[in-house]
Structure 1
């Protein structure tokens, strides 16, 4: 048997959280979350990476923000990042670009909440891989660890294919498959020996 959190003080920053089938909260059912920050003492913050937003469109959002050129030279996926601060945007992107206010999450992924990155992307520049999330998910100190122990989430190593892939409808099943988990065979609840 393996432990999902081998060390209670371990950070899951830069990892994925995969919603277990028993998690039925409408905000998180069948979601995949990239954890941008995590510590048992301070809590956690992450972005849902598999809930594509139909509206606003990327072009419409850039127009609202008065970012030129219109139409943009390049487009990126727009996701619902979570139920917190849904009007605030976060760009999760590859580490080949960084600007003022960018936060390095791990060796390959950076989080930027400034308009500079959107201006670069609209101009056809910027990071090679990126997605824009409106809103985020967050947990207080110890809350995420408790939810993991209660089998709400399955932590996993991150992959660019899951985080930046464009097939949002299949990311949850693909994330489960990477771990060799068939969601149809999972049992709800915690076992007791």
Structure 2
């Protein structure tokens, strides 16, 4: 038997630091209803902590079922994280059409005037390809996220904006992991619960 000269569980990660506009990819054995095999889009990161939204956890609801005066919105309502889960948040590609929106990347924005978003949707000027709604968010206190990254709970990666708005949430974790290279591609084959192996 030949011994391996590397540990697959301590694979060389990209070495990126968490920052606004980057994603967090959960390692394959991170457990819990919010973060198991999740992708989190960071909308804020500073010495005060971090804020992000889980991209691939559906609530099985639609925003127009829970938002008054929002009509015919075809996209899902996503579970953004465990913090303030009774509050709605949104990211979008509508830029200055939404007053007070915070620019995250070249084409992605966070929040802004909620009535403006509803008006754009209701008049057919925006749809689910341009707006994602979230119930709750993911938040970390100062230094907390860095500690979790050091413990190998998360891999920080860059991503193109199209992936953030993509509707194929069932495969986003696998695609993100495969994009990191062969060792990480192998991680996608691990069972979600090691006890099932």
- TM-score bracket relative to the smaller structure: 0.7 to 0.9
The answer for the alignment partner of 2:58 in structure 1 is 52
One of 15, 20, 32 as aligned partner of 1:25: 32
Normalising by structure 2, we get a TM-score of 0.79
Shift of 1:130: 1.9
8 Å contact from structure 2 (residues 60, 76) kept in 1: no
Which whole-Å deviations, capped at 9, do the CAs of 1:57-106 have from their partners, x for residues lacking one?
233123xx233xx4x2x533321111101121111111545423311112
1:177 and 2:183 are equivalent in the alignment: no
Asked whether the 8 Å contact 1:18–1:32 carries over to 2, the reply is: yes
Deviation at 1:3, TM superposition (A): 5.9
Q: Distance in 2 between matches of 1:60 and 1:184?
A: 34
List runs of 5+ in structure 2 lacking aligned partners: 1-10, 191-197
Give the secondary structure class of the aligned counterpart of 1:168: coil
C-alpha separation between the residues in 2 aligned to 1:123 and 1:36?
Answer: 27
Contact 2:69 2:118 in 1 (8 A): no
Mapping of residues 1-193 of structure 1, within 5 Å: 4-5=14-15, 12-39=19-46, 41-55=47-61, 57-62=62-67, 65-67=68-70, 70=71, 72=72, 74-115=73-114, 116-126=116-126, 129-180=130-181, 181-182=184-185, 183-184=187-188
Q: Which residue of 2 aligns with 1:189?
A: none
Rounded to whole Å, the distance in 1 between the matches of 2:133 and 2:82 is: 15
Provide the C-alpha distance between the structure 1 equivalents of 2:38 and 2:118, rounded to a whole number of angstroms. 25
Contact 2:99 2:112 in 1 (8 A): no
Structure 1, unaligned stretches of length 5 or more?
187-193
In angstroms, what is the RMSD of aligned CA positions?
A: 2.3
Tell me the TM-score normalised to structure 1 length: 0.80
- Given the superposition, is the C-alpha separation of residues 33 and 11 from structure 1 closer, same or farther in structure 2, using an over 3 Å criterion? closer
Give the 3 Å change call, closer, same or farther, for CA 77–16 of structure 1 in structure 2.
Answer: same
132-141 or 120-129, larger mean C-alpha shift: 120-129
Give runs of ≥4 in structure 1 deviating > 4 Å: 1-6
